[in-house]
Amino acid sequence: MASPCKFLLLLTLSFLACLPLISSLSSVSISETSNQTLICALLESSRLNCTSFPTGIQIPSVNRSFSGIVAGDGFQCVLSFPSATIMLCYRFSANGTNMQSKRLYYNDSALTEVAAGNTHVCGLVNGTNILHCWQWRGFNSSVQSDFSGIAVGEGFVCGLSSIGRIKCIGTNSSSSSIILDRVPSGNFQKVAAGFHHACAIYRNQSLVCWGDTVGEEPQGEFVSLALGENRSCAMRRNGTVVCWGENGFSLPESLRETVFMTIEAKRSVFCGVDLYNLSLLCWGNEIFDSNSMVFPRVLPGSCTNSECLNGVVLGSGSMCGQGHICNAYQNLTVVEGPSQPPLEPPSPSPEVRNRSGWNDKMVAFLVVGCVGSASFLAVICFFLFRYCKGRGCSKVHDSGRLDEAGMPPEHGLSQRQTVQAQQAAPVLEKRLSQLVSLGNGGHLEEFSLQELRQATDDFSQEHRIGTGSFGCVYRATLEDGKEVAIKRAEVSTTSSNAVGTRRQEDKDTAFVSELDSLSRLNHRNLVRLLGYCEDYNEQIPAYERILVYEYMNNGTLHDHLHKLHSSPLMSWTNRLRVALDAARGIEYLHMYAVPQIIHRDIKSSNILLDASLTAKVSDFGLSLMGPEDEDSHLSLHAAGTVGYMDPEYYRLQQLTPKSDVYSFGVLLLELLSGHKAIHKNENGVPTNVVDFVVPYIVQDEIHRVLDPNVPPPTPYEIEAVTYIGYIAADCVTLEGRDRPSMTDIVHSLERALAACFTPPSPIPSPPVSRSTTGSLT
């Protein structure tokens, strides 16, 4: 190994050895059933890989990053990346085939710490001091606590408070009293739980165990613990491990010299990450006697995007792909002594220093290491920043933006409307001819104003069917008998002022923009543009800009959901079909349009239905991104519709496809609940469908908010409907990164739709099995 490498390792090692650990999410998990052991780990880029002994258990492989994993008896949970706002758990039967999954946690506040006992899982919620436990009958699901670390055993959970005290909670006092009654007092830095016993490490690094302990705990100074059933292991300050317990349990000879970074245990199996080569080594059961190596290279901790209290693990940036691994030890000053943590028993700093073998050289290492880690982080940030700036970071076709050539020229405030229109016209003409000459534009028909006026009885009220993003929409039958929808840009004749001028320019821009993108798109689930008209109307007088689309007989989804009393959409299967159609249309815009098109205004009134109830997305090319200064509230409004708009986009003003995903999620919630995006609740208070419906989905109580106008879902449909609830909740996650892509959504909806036609399967395919019927417990 090259010497700089050794030096870095030495730094890490000295950190590990000398500083107390702070718990965080784990990158390794062990689960045992009566017959099987499943070991999972996060590998490069935080991808999950699991292996079972004997083989057989298949955790559905998802190409996704996770921020942590945790497992208990017969179940395996994964936490969403980069923040643990979702916890999804898979339960597998002893034979490993009957995989079922269920979302146990979903909240804007991430879990900062999770631990699983034998059948229970508990977690701490960021910023709330709340301890949540799941799969635990009789446990108050959320308990106020000041825990910074937790450990879960059989029927009890112990927490380490921020001031270093240990408190244990149990549901069945007769069986857990052995733990609850003997909780040691003192100042601790770490707590761990086995089956019927628990151990903790004092601030002075010595060890104490209580409960149904087996064997004498070793003496010495320790930094970490892993407890199984009647067996325990502890990690020394120098990273080596010592084990003790029933029948003289001890660490296999071959691992005695191994220096570990972390250790984990469940029942009889123990695993640790080798500090030098990051391989995952396991022991404790005869399977591992011959070969302890389970994975050649795993992450030594969970990757995160948040700041590290104690600096990053050196080199973890490249392992994580996104994010870094935080060093797992406390503030330097705690060990150095001068500033005591609150309630630390009087222990003079020289003593601490001596006892933990401190010398000036190690302090120097630590200081260098800290500074090094901090500058490493700073360098990463700097490059990320540069990278983002250089690439614009969201380099997509903003369907509302036009290149310079297409921009109408600026106009003076005092100029009259007609003059503006005429000045703008040549630019438009030029732009249009460009489009047509692109070749793709060849199939676009150019209509005369005369022809369209005739077809719509001079744009009469009778022909008017609605309003689109830039004007009124009319229904008409052309001379050849073809039914079309005609979108006519509003041409304002009000006296000119700054805002009016801007708006007019915006509308011109929208016209060309919509043509530009539309002329290149052809998909079954996109409303097709047939042609356009660009003529001078002497009556107004101004240039008219008109688009001609295929006509959609069955109107908007919005009307079917909220206006019509009888509709074919009063069926869950049909609603699902519509959702899938719309998702495919949007996916096409995101994935196959070149450059990518972000719709920016997905809503139920922009989803149209043709005669055969095929849903199509309309109104893409929305472009009123307009002025940035005086009119900013307008431009925001124009970039989406209230109730559907991605809060992240609103906040960051950064357009990504995930904003469409958010709006699509709102649309799904609307389909499920029958409520408008913004509706009045029973008290007349305007309510967002997201706030209203998602909590029910999270609690697996979607049946309580399903649209009452639709007959209750059949047993075939209930699974699909529940699953769509999950998809919708995923789509409206606050962080865009945590939302699925439209491709993911299309695949999920396809599976959900398939479930509507197959009886609920005893061996459901994993994703669809996230259902209320597939209870974990």
Ligand X SMILES: *[C@@H]1O[C@H](CO)[C@@H](O)[C@H](O)[C@H]1NC(C)=O
110 vs 521, beta carbon nearer ligand X? 110
454 vs 758, beta carbon nearer ligand X? 758
Q: Do residues 529 and 485 lie in contact, with contact meaning Cβ atoms separated by under 8 Å?
A: no
CA distance linking residue 344 with residue 187, whole number of Å:
7
User: Which distant-in-sequence residues (6+ apart) come within 8 Å of 386 by Cβ?
Assistant: none
Query: Tokens 């007349």 — which residue?
Result: 684
DSSP-based three-state secondary structure for 337:
coil
DSSP of 714-755? PHHHHHHHHHHHHHHHHHT-SSGGGSPPHHHHHHHHHHHHHH
137 vs 633, beta carbon nearer ligand X? 137
Q: Do residues 693 and 672 lie in contact, with contact meaning Cβ atoms separated by under 8 Å?
A: yes
Which residue of 14, 23, 27, 126 would you call a contact of ligand X, by CB under 6 A?
A: 126
Q: Is 229 in the site for ligand X (CB under 6 A)?
A: yes
CA distance linking residue 161 with residue 11, whole number of Å:
29
Which residue of 61, 433, 460, 522 would you call a contact of ligand X, by CB under 6 A?
A: 61
Pick from 703, 753, 401, 434: which is nearest to 581 by CA?
753
- Report how many residues bind ligand X under the rule CB under 6 A: 48
Bridge partners of 80, per DSSP, are 66
Centre a 10 Å sphere on the Cβ of residue 378 and count the other Cβ atoms it contains: 10
Which residue of 110, 473, 593, 732 would you call a contact of ligand X, by CB under 6 A?
A: 110
Q: Do residues 88 and 70 lie in contact, with contact meaning Cβ atoms separated by under 8 Å?
A: no
Dihedral, 8, 14, 19, 25 alpha carbons, nearest 10: 40
Work out how close the CB of 271 gets to ligand X at its nearest, in angstroms, rounded to a whole number: 14
297 vs 523, beta carbon nearer ligand X? 297
Pick from 46, 106, 48: which is nearest to 82 by CA?
46
Which residue of 1, 2, 34, 629 would you call a contact of ligand X, by CB under 6 A?
A: 34
Which residue of 29, 31, 100, 107 would you call a contact of ligand X, by CB under 6 A?
A: 107
Which range binds ligand X by CB under 6 A, 145-153, 328-336, 367-375, 546-554?
328-336
Query: Tokens 């405030």 — which residue?
Result: 413
- Binding to ligand X in span 160-199, by CB under 6 A: 171-172, 174-175, 186
CA distance linking residue 738 with residue 740, whole number of Å:
7
User: Which distant-in-sequence residues (6+ apart) come within 8 Å of 19 by Cβ?
Assistant: 223, 310, 329, 330, 332, 334, 335, 366
Dihedral, 668, 718, 753, 565 alpha carbons, nearest 10: -60
Which residue of 127, 248, 390, 412 would you call a contact of ligand X, by CB under 6 A?
A: 127
738 flagged as catalytic: no
Q: Is 420 in the site for ligand X (CB under 6 A)?
A: no
Which residue of 129, 331, 394, 422 would you call a contact of ligand X, by CB under 6 A?
A: 331
Instruction: Give the gyration radius of the chain's Cα atoms.
Output: 31
Which residue of 122, 133, 251, 334 would you call a contact of ligand X, by CB under 6 A?
A: 334
Work out how close the CB of 579 gets to ligand X at its nearest, in angstroms, rounded to a whole number: 22
- Binding to ligand X in span 232-261, by CB under 6 A: 236, 238, 240, 246, 257
Burial annotation 218-240 (CB, 10 A radius, 16+ → b, else e): eeebbbbbbbbbbbbbbbbbebe
Q: Is 647 in the site for ligand X (CB under 6 A)?
A: no
Work out how close the CB of 713 gets to ligand X at its nearest, in angstroms, rounded to a whole number: 24
Show the binding pattern over residues 339-378: x = contacts ligand X (CB under 6 A), - = does not. x-x-------------------------------------
**Helix or strand holding residue 225 (H, E):** strand 222-227
Work out how close the CB of 132 gets to ligand X at its nearest, in angstroms, rounded to a whole number: 8
Q: Do residues 324 and 308 lie in contact, with contact meaning Cβ atoms separated by under 8 Å?
A: yes
169 vs 561, beta carbon nearer ligand X? 169
C-alpha distances in Å from residue 200, one per residue of 29, 259, 355: 20, 21, 19
Q: Is 398 in the site for ligand X (CB under 6 A)?
A: no
Work out how close the CB of 586 gets to ligand X at its nearest, in angstroms, rounded to a whole number: 19
207 vs 706, beta carbon nearer ligand X? 207
Q: How many CA atoms are closer than 13 Å to the CA of 386, on its beta-carbon side?
A: 6
Which residue of 5, 10, 94, 293 would you call a contact of ligand X, by CB under 6 A?
A: 94
- Binding to ligand X in span 199-228, by CB under 6 A: 202, 204, 206, 220
Which range binds ligand X by CB under 6 A, 101-109, 428-436, 585-593, 607-615?
101-109
Query: What letter represents residue 563's amino acid?
Result: K
Which residue of 70, 698, 720, 731 would you call a contact of ligand X, by CB under 6 A?
A: 698
Which residue of 49, 161, 322, 654 would you call a contact of ligand X, by CB under 6 A?
A: 49
Phi and psi angles of residue 524, each rounded to the nearest 5 degrees, phi first = -55, -30
Q: Is 295 in the site for ligand X (CB under 6 A)?
A: yes
Q: Is 230 in the site for ligand X (CB under 6 A)?
A: yes
Work out how close the CB of 414 gets to ligand X at its nearest, in angstroms, rounded to a whole number: 51
Which range binds ligand X by CB under 6 A, 91-99, 430-438, 615-623, 701-709?
91-99
190 annotated as a binding-site residue: no
287 vs 436, beta carbon nearer ligand X? 287
CA distance linking residue 136 with residue 145, whole number of Å:
18
Q: Is 322 in the site for ligand X (CB under 6 A)?
A: no
Query: Tokens 């009016």 — which residue?
Result: 500
32 vs 581, beta carbon nearer ligand X? 32
- Binding to ligand X in span 677-696, by CB under 6 A: 694-695
Catalytic residue among 73, 535, 581, 601: 601
257 vs 479, beta carbon nearer ligand X? 257
Q: Is the alpha carbon torsion for 573, 576, 582, 585 positive or negative?
A: negative
Q: Is 292 in the site for ligand X (CB under 6 A)?
A: no
341 vs 568, beta carbon nearer ligand X? 341
Q: Dig out the tokens for 758 from the structure.
A: 């197959």
Centre a 10 Å sphere on the Cβ of residue 307 and count the other Cβ atoms it contains: 11
197 vs 411, beta carbon nearer ligand X? 197
- Binding to ligand X in span 508-567, by CB under 6 A: none
Please report, in angstroms and rounded to a whole number, the separation of the first and last CA atoms in the chain: 49
Q: Do residues 29 and 367 lie in contact, with contact meaning Cβ atoms separated by under 8 Å?
A: no
Bridge partners of 78, per DSSP, are 69, 88
Q: Is 390 in the site for ligand X (CB under 6 A)?
A: no
Which residue of 58, 98, 340, 492 would you call a contact of ligand X, by CB under 6 A?
A: 98
Q: Is 743 in the site for ligand X (CB under 6 A)?
A: no
C-alpha distances in Å from residue 695, one per residue of 621, 668, 700, 767: 33, 15, 9, 21
220 vs 409, beta carbon nearer ligand X? 220
Q: Dig out the tokens for 205 from the structure.
A: 């690094």
DSSP-based three-state secondary structure for 60:
coil
Q: Is 445 in the site for ligand X (CB under 6 A)?
A: no
CA distance linking residue 614 with residue 308, whole number of Å:
50
Q: Is 55 in the site for ligand X (CB under 6 A)?
A: no
Q: Is 492 in the site for ligand X (CB under 6 A)?
A: no
Look at strands 188-193 and 48-53 and give their pairing: unpaired
Which range binds ligand X by CB under 6 A, 106-114, 382-390, 479-487, 537-545?
106-114
Work out how close the CB of 259 gets to ligand X at its nearest, in angstroms, rounded to a whole number: 6
Q: Is 146 in the site for ligand X (CB under 6 A)?
A: no
Q: Is 91 in the site for ligand X (CB under 6 A)?
A: no
Q: Is 280 in the site for ligand X (CB under 6 A)?
A: no
**Helix or strand holding residue 344 (H, E):** none
Annotated binding site: 487
Catalytic residues: 601
- Residues lying near ligand X in the complex (CB under 6 A) are found at 34-35, 49, 61, 63, 83, 93-95, 97-98, 107-110, 112, 126-128, 140, 171-172, 174-175, 186, 202, 204, 206, 220, 229-230, 236, 238, 240, 246, 257, 295-296, 306, 330-331, 333-334, 339, 341, 694-695, 698
Annotated binding site for ATP: 487
